[in-house]
Structure 1
């Protein structure tokens, strides 16, 4: 065979082998990238939530039958939709373009499910991570504020009703979150931290428990000092939900009647965003947070909407709305996989005082009790 032809054949064989290798490399790269994406139902639905399902079906049908009349709407871009799902990027949303490059921008990725008065991307609630120093040396309580609260509590003589079953579980994952007006020598927002259950969010859990029990609702209130347990195990503050999950799991396993799970927190925002006035009295505002990385996401959202709608009706302005958080924006689950009526409730911010917090818990207890008895037909009393 002529040397030129032999050289040609060898080049062809080499090119073929190289081409096969490149195909395998490209296939492996695409496969790895594709499956590394978190294509959960929540992930996909987040990108499809703005898509009109009727229009989507219409466009798919028309792509197979070109004689089908064109829709009067602006149409649907399949290439844009595929690009969004494949890359987790929306070209019209700068948060998805820069979120990975600018870490602080991921804070604004929170999904605003229901936006009430004044709630925008610019003033979303957030939880600051306390310094190691304040975690080990939390602030002491302002005894004057405690005495005033105890005096007012004694004046409320409505007796507690003993319920046959306990369906409500109240706990506080970030139990040391507190409020500046309730603390001694505390002015820095980052110092609104206390291990004293009389002035941190555990006190709100106790207040809510008492109010619901007086309405005949069975409540189990957990007062675990999760921060101390973290310190004892030498775990970081970011492991708080891992710690509280142990308690929640034990509770629901030991009592399968527990249906309503309420995790009480405090927002780190300042007074302007966390306070409102209703009938001449100031209230701490509430925010519902729903984890979007668990199987009960949609049911929990429905329950939060039910509470939010009643709050809006009876106490206009007290709610800041409902927020959804995926795994990339925090824990993403918040122990809400244990029930389809589980919520995380942010109560006020660092500047709210005792009176405002008390009024808000009374308002929430009023609405929650109403929803509870509607769902349980008032047959347990």
Structure 2
């Protein structure tokens, strides 16, 4: 009777331990460390554009020698419909004098700081000044150039970012990854100046890094000539100049926030990897 009871107890103990053994044995076979590895520089999700709601708290390493970024906005009044509607009740507004793409500068700065970068935001409302001076929309890069050039003469920057909003609708500027929606980006490169290949290579590296974090969040790099766009986009002034189309007219502030986190992390990683090249 005692032997029978021991066999029964041994059988039930085996059944209890079997799932644990199934998990542990493959790990032991491949020498896998079962202790979870913590990423030293995780993707940081900072406050949203309007709500200031903290999406995810993280800690990152502060770098003693941060790299310098200049952020500016050629089409400064480009706006996102959901944010304008939430702020003022206006619907389907693509351009706004105050609730516009420039409002993400503090958010983007915060993300870059979390990733070890120092950011200067060019305090120039280009579309406001164009309206005052009577310049047309297609002259935006021309009117921005002397202001940008003056800033670059006063300080050397490692990366220059001209941030825009795409004009496409939601279905062409949004992806869902693991149940979370993101605003897609596309990087535009002017192909009508002699050093454009350097900007193109940097843009491609950033695009690849972003897609490694969230597949298809970047739609890639689009090179444009005078036949298909401005052709230069003032990118001849820097070897690491990025023109970023962030989302489209119907993307939400939450989607923009998530993508900014990915974008800032990717640029930081690519710059660190490109040092000395």
Q: Shorter-chain TM-score: which interval? A: 0.7 to 0.9
Q: Map of 1:98-113 to 2, 5 A cutoff?
A: none
Partner of 1:117: none
Structure 2 regions of 5+ residues with no counterpart? Answer: 1-47
| Distance in 1 separating the partners of 2:192 and 2:72 | 21
Asked if 1:169 is matched to 2:58, the reply is no
In structure 1, distance between residues paired with 2:64 and 2:137: 36
Using the alignment, how far apart are the partners of 1:211 and 1:324 within structure 2? 27
Larger helix fraction of residues: 1
Judged with a 3 Å threshold, the aligned counterparts in structure 2 of structure 1 residues 298 and 203 are, in CA distance, closer, same or farther, namely: same
Change (3 A) 1:230 1:147: closer
Q: How far does the alpha carbon of each residue in 1:145-173 deviate from its partner, in whole angstroms, 9 at most, with x for none? A: 8652x2438x8586995865653111110
Q: Report the Cα offset of residue 203 of structure 1.
A: 2.3
Shift of 1:239: 1.3
Aligned length: 226
Q: Secondary structure at the residue paired with 2:163?
A: strand
In the TM superposition, residue 292 of structure 1 has moved relative to its aligned partner by 0.7
Separation in structure 2 between the aligned mates of residue 291 and residue 147 of structure 1, nearest angstrom: 32
Deviation at 1:345, TM superposition (A): 0.3
Query: RCO greater where, 1 or 2, for CA within 8 Å and sep 6 or more?
Result: 2
Give structure 1 stretches of 5+ with no counterpart.
1-144
TM-score (norm 2): 0.75
Show the counterpart of 2:123. 223
Report if the CA contact (8 A) 2:67-2:116 is conserved: no
Contact 2:80 2:94 in 1 (8 A): yes
Distance 1:341 1:303 in 2: 6
Answer yes or no: is 1:152 the counterpart of 2:51. no
TM-score, normalisation: structure 1 = 0.55
Change beyond 3 A, Cα 1:276–1:339: same
Alignment of 1:1-381 (within 5 A): 147-148=50-51, 150-152=52-54, 167-183=68-84, 184-188=88-92, 191-196=93-98, 199-255=99-155, 257-376=156-275
In our comparison, the structure showing a higher alpha carbon Rg is 1
Alpha-carbon spacing, 1:171–1:158, altered in 2? closer, same or farther (3 Å): farther
1:192 Cα deviation from its structure 2 partner: 1.5
Which string of whole-angstrom CA distances, capped at 9 and with x for unpartnered residues, describes residues 37-93 of structure 1?
xxxxxxxxxxxxxxxxxxxxxxxxxxxxxxxxxxxxxxxxxxxxxxxxxxxxxxxxx
